[in-house]
Structures are given as structure tokens and as C-alpha cells.
Structure 1
Amino acid sequence: MNAQPTDASFDTRQRLIEAAILTFAEKGFDGAGIREIAKRANANSALVTYHFAGKEGLYLEALRYIFNRKACQVAQLALRPRVEGPGAREDALQGVKEHIRAFMEDLMACNRLIDPVEEAAMALMAREMQAPRPASSALLMEHIRPHVEHLMHCLRVLRPDLSTDELLNMGLSIQGQLLYFRNSLGISRLIRGNPDYPEDLSVLTQHFTDFSLRGLGIPEAFPQPRN
């Protein structure tokens, strides 16, 4: 019979995960050392092997912890039933708008919190997106696939004339501008001379939505006034 983890054991495991997120975000997988992570967590380095079977296991658990730390609004959107028939196009248009809003809110959820682990989690995910490790690719795709499938379904309904590759490029363009903004928020604030930018996230979200829908060529998204 396996022993149940004690509160002290859980606390140590939690500290190791958070220390790993901070260290992997700063130095990447290759640059981070087990002893360094353990020291940061105020724990014995042997506990990395005990809890996670080594550095690779700790890295995967750090990514899993980031994904599961808070609810993902985009993933929740993907669970909604898809509308077929006459209402499908209107539903898809609304789906793109909600996708952009949810993705922006997910990306900016920690913006006003003084939480170094949260900021490090964003940095670590940016590293992983740029160069996915073979060992973590399956985990990454498991959590990202709902984002991709939800947006691709909406785009396929709105632009049935485009090939799968063209739709993927459209989707990457939409998500890419949001990710670039979040990852470049510091320099955006410097350029604007505004450390609180954006004060009103809804205004920025509307800009990204309009920009994306115009790029997609969706005329009904911008109805013209009748003469």
C-alpha cells in the first residue's frame, strides 16, 4: 500500500515546482541545475529525484502546473457544442470574437499581480513555444490543441474557400499578435511612457478583434450604414 503524502512533503514538492518555474524561465532547461533549483526551494536536491524522477520529470511537472494553475477560458470555449446549418456562420463570427477576448484575458490575467512565479510561468511558456522540447511536445499539444481546434473551426466556417494551410496561417496571425503584445508588454510601456498600459483591456481587445476580422475579410463584421 502506497503511503499518502504528508503536508510537509506536499509543501516541499510545491516549493520545488515553483523554484523550477523561476529557474527554467531564467536559464532554460539546459542552463538550470537541480542543485540550484533545490537551493532556491530550500530543499535537498535528492528530493528532485524522489518526487519527479529527475530534472526532465520536474520540467514536465512545472509545465503541467502552469497549465493547471488556473482555468483557461479558451479551452472552455472549445467545449461548447458547435452550431450547424443556417446559424453556423453567425456563431463562428461570435466564436472568433470570444476567442480573442478569452485569449487576451488569459494572457493578461496576472498583469496587475505582483507574482514572480506567474511572470516566470509566462516566460517559460514563451521559451517552450519557441523551441518545444521533444519530451514535452505531447503535453504541450494536449493543452494547446483545444485552442487551435476552436479557432480553426470558426475560421473554416467563415472562410470555406481557404485551404487548411491558409487557415492555419490565419490562425497563427491572430494568435501571434496577441502573444507578441503580451511578451513585449514591457517595451510597449516604455515606448508609451505609461507603466499602467493598458488600463482598459477591452479597448485593446476590440482593436485586435477588428484588425483580425478585417484581415480575414469578413464583411458582415463591419456593416455599412444604409443611405
Structure 2
Amino acid sequence: MAKRKDGIETRQKLLDVACDVFAEKGFREATITEICRRAGANVAAVNYYFGDKESLYVAAWRQTMEQFLSNDILPSKDLPPETRLRVAIHHIIHRVLVDDQSRGYFRRIELMELANPTGLIDDLWKAMIAPRQKELLGIIRDIIGPGASEDTVILCKTSIINQCRGYILTQKSCLESLGGSQFLTAAQADRIAEHITRFSIAGIKAVSGQADDQADSTREKGDGKMFTQSK
């Protein structure tokens, strides 16, 4: 039993350190040697518990995703779409900028993956993140109305997500502009989330107006064709 407990602790220590190293250096620059050195384990332990560096990376991603998405809250579908978007953005910003260090690993490891994609976590991403993004797409579609193309809805979603991600990259300057503290307070995060929400809703509604204009133009062209054909 003691050996089994030691084995579980060694595996978890390797995984925790791997999250740190991959978040710091990305997949390609991280080495098994450094991970083992920091974890106080030998290279054989990685081979035994995970098989190889690729599998360790996927396991690290899974752990950081699960920590990041723990206590995830999806807004009720009974709420107006603008309110649902506000709830979703506030939740994202608090997870991104306020929550504890264990969730911070996901933010950093995600940025590393975005900068240098490995393709190793595509299936995991689809299983764990895609449903949340699908929910966001649905909210945007409800705001923008039926006239928008799927590409337009996806672009709106990408714009919102990248606004949230942008505060990760500029967190230091953001903190300075909001008072110079070391960490964002919940009130400061609310202020940022509210700005993103208002900015995004205004943008979505502007796009919605363009979609309505395009739909009217299409109908007019169609009516013109019908009129010409009838003559």
C-alpha cells in the first residue's frame, strides 16, 4: 500500500511540475529532463506513468483544463441573450484574471499552444472547450438574429474571446491603469467584464444591422428578378 501511495504521489508531482514547465516554456522548449529534475524524479518515471513527452503534455492539459473549468457556470437559457452574454463574459474574466494560480496554468499553457500549435490537444479541446464555445455562439446568434451568416457569428465569438485573452497579455499595464495593485480585485474584474460586454453587444448589434441590410438587399434583388421574369 505504501508503494502504491508513493507511486500516486510521484505521478501527481510529475504532472504538477509538467503543468508549470509547459506553461512557462511551451511543449517544444520544455524537456523531460528539466521536469524530472524539478519533480525530484528520474526520467524512467515519466516513461512508466505517462509513456512519453506527448502523453505527459496531454495529461497536463487535461489537468489544467479541469481546474480552469471547475465550478463552471452556464447562464440560464431563460435569460435575455444580452444578459446571458454579460454573465458569460463576467465568468470568463473572473476565471482569467482573478482566480487562483492553479487556473493560471491553463491561461499560460493555452497561450503557448496558440503561439506554437502542436495538434496534440485537438481532441481534448473539442471535448472540453468546444461545448462552452458552442454555448457562446448560440448567445451571439440569438442577439444578432437570423439574418447573419455562420461566418459572422463565429467572427463575433472570436472577437469576444480575444478581448478576454488580451487582458492576459496586458495584465500588468491593465493593473497599473486601474490602480497599480499586484492583483486584480473582483470589482476591477467586474469593470473590465462590463466594458467588454457593452463593447461586444454594441458591435454585435452593429453587425446585426448590416445583416438586416444585406437580407433586405437580397430580397430586393430577388423581387427584381421575379418582376423581370414575369414581364
Same-fold call, TM > 0.5? yes
Q: Given that residues 108 and 182 in structure 1 are in contact (C-alpha distance below 8 angstroms), is that contact kept between their aligned partners in structure 2?
A: yes
SS of aligned partner of 2:121: helix
What residue in structure 1 maps to residue 171 of structure 2? 185
Deviations 1:139-192 (A, max 9, x none): 122222122111111111221221000111011111111111123202323456
> RMSD between aligned alpha carbons?
2.5
Q: What is residue 74 of structure 2 aligned with on the other side?
A: 77
Answering whether residue 165 of structure 2 is matched by residue 165 of structure 1, we say no
2:9 to 8, 11, 33: 11
Q: In 2 relative to 1, CA 95–72 (structure 1 residues): closer, same or farther, beyond 3 Å?
A: farther
Match of 1:42 in 2: 40
Aligned residue in 2 for 1:225:
none
Name 1:206's counterpart in structure 2.
194
| Structure 1: distance between partners of 2:60 and 2:2 | 21
**Distance in 2 separating the partners of 1:209 and 1:72:** 23
Change (3 A) 1:18 1:127: same
Letter in structure 2 aligned against 1:206: E
Match of 1:67 among 65, 72, 75: 65
SS of match in other structure, 1:217: helix
Larger displacement relative to structure 2 (31-40 or 186-195) = 186-195
Given that residues 73 and 106 in structure 1 are in contact (C-alpha distance below 8 angstroms), is that contact kept between their aligned partners in structure 2? Answer: no
- 2:92 counterpart (82, 86, 103): 103
Say which SS state the counterpart of residue 74 (structure 2) adopts: helix
After TM superposition, the structure 1 stretch with the greater mean CA deviation from structure 2, 127-136 or 137-146, is: 127-136
> Cα distance, 1:49 vs. partner?
0.7
Unpaired runs of 5+ in structure 1? 84-89, 219-227
Q: Point out the structure with max Rg over C-alpha.
A: 2
Identical positions, percent:
25
AA in 2 matched with 1:18: D
The worse-fitting range, judged by mean Cα deviation, of 201-210 and 145-154 is 201-210
Q: Kindly tell me: are residues 149 and 27 of structure 1, through their superposed partners in 2, closer, same or farther at Cα, counting changes over 3 Å? A: same
Query: Residue type of the partner of 1:43?
Result: A
Q: Distance in 2 between matches of 1:161 and 1:73?
A: 35
TM-score (norm 2): 0.78
2:139 corresponds to 1:142: no
Higher fraction of helix: 2
| Structure 2 residue ranges without an equivalent (≥5) | 207-231
Aligned pair in 2 of structure 1 residues 70, 173: CA closer, same or farther (>3 Å)? Answer: closer
Taking the aligned partners of 1:161 and 1:44, their CA distance within structure 2 comes to 59
